[in-house]
Each structure stands twice: as structure tokens, then as C-alpha cells.
Chain A
């Protein structure tokens, strides 16, 4: 039997005064899919999630969640979704257990059911020891896990994760990733926003790349990477000030203008395996100390650079 997709977004737009935060975007997510919404700060990711989670009315287009229109039937949408925002939305003065219990009660679980569900989630998210403590004392990672647990009390079919790992150290980030993978394995549809390409690569089957409120690319991570071309030569001089000289040497050899990252890394796409050796020699002749040089497959960072002409991190300005 054919079924409605988990998310169907059609020419969705939201303007704040003159600012068109989301400028007519369309995408679809199948049930059980992990869809990554990728883009720099200010690209419209959060605005999109807020519209899909019924927190913000769109100013154009339409969107449905499991077939329910977010404007016409927000109550039906809310019954089926979970939301974890950029800021861990837990009550700091309540204990972890009380936070989950409160959400359970608000979702009309009986007292006993709400207690049971809280206990299940506390175990599932490794919060057993901390459950009786006020969340004010939690570490950032624990708070995020509790926040994620809170969005799962109602067993949502669609889960919105808005930059779930922003500000977390790598250890805690891995914990959140593990949790998301487990959910996806259980068949929950996940819409994940991130500005970390690695995160999108790790978690999402399909990616939608946003820039300045528009969809600039979509597809699987592998498809996007192949769009960025073949292998790339990258050179990082020891002294970042020499990046421009390196770039001109690379350009004259490969015959294409490379990009220079803020770190001083010079990158250019090339299929010529011998270019690496030639550039290495010419840099030695020029007396430029090289910290790192090599050929590699394009990362999602490279993809982003190719698609937008600017890097993910530098684009916030």
C-alpha cells in the first residue's frame, strides 16, 4: 500500500518583515528516514523546523507531517512529533525524572504510565544515577540526552532534532549520535538539522542543503560528494601567510584556481595523480615548508564549498 510521506514540504516560506528566512523550499522525507538539513547559521534550518513543529506559522507554501497539514491541523501534528531544539528545553529546577514525568502527564498518560515511561527513558539514555538530581547539576551532554528523552515520551513517529550536538564535546556528541541511530533503527523518522557536515555524513541517509533560505542541493551523501568532482589535492603550508604563493603554484600546475580555507589550506579538484608529486617538488624548490599535503576524496565540506562558493563555518558572518 502506498502511503503519505513522513514529511512533505512544498514551496514553504517564512518572512520576518523584509527578511525572507525561508524562501520557498521543497523536500520530502519517507517514513523511517533520517533526513539531514544541512546549512550554515542563518540558512533557514531552525525556521524550517519551527514551522514543521507548528511553533511558527509559514508565510507561504505548505507542509504536512504524516499527511497532516501543519497549519490546518496543528493538533494532529503535535500528537505525532517530538522536538529537541538548539537549547536543551528542560526545567532546571526539576529532577530529570520529574521533567520526564511532567511531559508524560501533559501527554495524558496516567500517573503510573508516566512514571513507567520516565523510568524506561532514564534507563535507555543512561541517566539512572542522575535521575533524582536537579537538572541544573547536569553536564551539557546529560542535559541533551534528557532533552532527547523528553521529546520521546510520547513515542513520536517523527522527531525533529535542531542542531542536537551544537556545543557538545566529541564524547558527548557521540552519545547523542548513538541515541539517534538507535531511534532510526526503531523506525522513527528523524529530521536533523546541523551545520556539521560530519554529523550529516554520520547520521543522515539523505541530505537537503540550505543556503540563505533556499535548497541548493539534495541527495544522498554519496551523490553530493560525487557532484563535487573527483579527488582533490590539498596543501597546508606551515606558515598560513604563504597560502597565496602555494595557491599560485598549485594553479599553474593543475590549471585551475584552488580555494583557500581560513586555516591556510589550499584545495583544488584534480584527477591527475601525478600532480601531487609535481606540486611537492615545486614547493620544495620555492622553499615553502609544508605541514600537510595529499590527495583525498571530497568531504562534505568540499561539497558545501563547491555548492555555495563559501565554507560552512565562515558563512555565518
Chain B
């Protein structure tokens, strides 16, 4: 058979045109925009990061607050930083569920048949979710203020607390991404995530001072990264020195990313 050109020039350039932004990042941002538009278009997807944490805070402050701390106001002061962390940690589990859903609808097949980095769709989904986490955090803090939470911490310390929370959520969402690649079924991802997150958040210093816990549990609480992160966020929002706990929290996040990000990407590549 004879035709005209050999080999034909592809419609899409072989060598990416010279641009300042590396292509993986650029494609990731395009996909992140998709994720954000998606969230805006389906506000029900925001419930887990808006209404749910608000209800959580109300329940804890007014149901348990008096019993744990003597009065609701003192408990609010103690619990808010932890609930802020818990909210964002739970929201990061939503990343896995969303990815499992995307993988099932076939849209990731389309992305994978495009000449883009295979990590770009994952990066895009996670970047869009970081916006969700931030939204959740801001709502949480604003609602805490409405309930009477006050802090003397500098704006810089508040920002640092947010940074710490986001870093922790970013690290965890790689765990849930890897989980979504293995488990596949969105509902199972959701169930498993809750099973992992409940003990991690409750067996920690998020909701109560740990002094009354049995010794073996205190041992777990002490090594639970959620505790260290909650302590660090609490210290930052109290305007207290947070150095040690913050360092441990950041280190944990870094270690989790180093392990689970490559694992998630590898599992995603291998997925058929």
C-alpha cells in the first residue's frame, strides 16, 4: 500500500514545545481545575468538609465538653485544633473514594490514552482536594470563632498551623490513593478508610487529655502521628512553642509521602 507521508507528523508535537512549566505540573493543574469545577458543581460533595465537621464540633463541645473539661468553653479551646486536624484527615480519605469512582467510570482510561504523564491525573485530583481541605479548615476555624474560640497566636502561627494540617492531609491522601488502587470498589474504599481513620483519630490526643487512658493505649497514642500533629497544631494556635511536635509531624508527613506516593503511582501504572 502506498500513501503520502512516512512517517506522518503527529497532530500533537513529539517534543513538547518549550514552555516554562513542566508538562506534568501543567497537566496536573488542568486536571485540578476539573476537580475544583466538579466540586463546585456538586455541592453535596462538599458536605463532608463543611456540614459534617460543624456537626462534629457542636456534638463534641456540647455533649462531651462539660464532662471532659468542666465546661464547654474550655473544651472548645482544647478540642478545636484537634477537630480541625481530624476534619482534614477525614476529608483526605474522600480523595481515595473519588479516585476509585473515577477509575470505575472509564474517564481515567481516556487520560491514560493521552500523551500525558501517568502521574498527572493523580496529582490533579490531589491538588483539587487540597483546595477542599483548605476550605474545610477555614470553615472549621470560622465556626470555632463563632462559638467563642479565641486565640492570642500571631497570624503567622495560625498560617503555620494550617500548613501543618495540609501537609499531614497531603501525606495521608497518598495512603488512600494507594488503597483506592488496590481495593477498587468506591464503597469498600470508604469503609476501609473509616476503619483506619477512626482509631487513629480517637486513640490520640485530639479529643481528650490522654492521662486517664490505660498504659498500653497511652503507648499507642504517643506513637500515633495524629497525636503529634494535633499537639503541634494546638501549640501553634495557643501561641506556645511547637518546635518538637511540629518537627515530628512534618517528618511523619514526609516519610509517608516518600513511601506512599511512589507506591500509589506504581499501583496506578500497573492497573489494567
Roughly how many angstroms separate A79 CA and B41 CA in the complex, as a whole number? 31
| Contact pick for A89, options B2, B34, B42, B105, CB 8 Å | B105
Interface segment, one of B12-20, B79-87, B177-185: B12-20
Roughly how many angstroms separate A82 CA and B16 CA in the complex, as a whole number? 19
Q: Is the CB of B1 within 8 A of A3?
A: yes
Interface presence of A102 (CB below 8 A) = yes
Residue of B nearest to A88 (CB): B106
Roughly how many angstroms separate A102 CA and B1 CA in the complex, as a whole number? 37
Interface presence of B152 (CB below 8 A) = no
Asked, given contacts A66-B7, A81-B113, A91-B38, whether A108 binds B12 with beta carbons under 8 Å apart, the answer is yes
Residue of A nearest to B27 (CB): A106
Residue of B nearest to A81 (CB): B113
Residue of A nearest to B41 (CB): A93
**For window 97-124 of chain B, which residues contact chain A by CB distance below 8 Å?**
105-107, 109-116, 120
The interface residues of chain B, by DSSP majority, are classed as: loop
Sorting the interface of chain B by its residue count into under 10, 10 to 19, 20 to 34 or 35 or more gives 35 or more
Interface segment, one of A53-61, A219-227, A231-239: A53-61
**For window 18-72 of chain B, which residues contact chain A by CB distance below 8 Å?**
23, 27, 30-31, 33-34, 37-38, 41-42
Interface segment, one of A36-44, A154-162, A195-203, A207-215: A154-162
Q: Is the CB of A3 within 8 A of B6?
A: yes
Residue of B nearest to A156 (CB): B11
By a CB distance below 8 angstroms, the chain B residues around A98 are: 34, 37
Asked, given contacts A79-B12, A90-B107, whether A3 binds B31 with beta carbons under 8 Å apart, the answer is no
Q: How far is the CB of B241 from chain A (nearest CB, A)?
A: 45
Roughly how many angstroms separate A107 CA and B110 CA in the complex, as a whole number? 12
**For window 212-249 of chain B, which residues contact chain A by CB distance below 8 Å?**
none
| Contact pick for A30, options B1, B7, B111, CB 8 Å | B1
Q: Is the CB of A55 within 8 A of B109?
A: yes
| Contact pick for B8, options A53, A103, A157, CB 8 Å | A157
By a CB distance below 8 angstroms, the chain B residues around A79 are: 10-12, 14, 115
Interface presence of B3 (CB below 8 A) = yes
Roughly how many angstroms separate A157 CA and B10 CA in the complex, as a whole number? 8
Interface presence of A50 (CB below 8 A) = yes
Interface presence of B272 (CB below 8 A) = yes
**For window 124-160 of chain A, which residues contact chain B by CB distance below 8 Å?**
134, 150-151, 154-157
Q: List 10 A-B contacts (CB under 8 A).
A: A2-B1, A5-B1, A56-B272, A75-B115, A76-B10, A91-B107, A93-B38, A103-B114, A107-B12, A107-B115
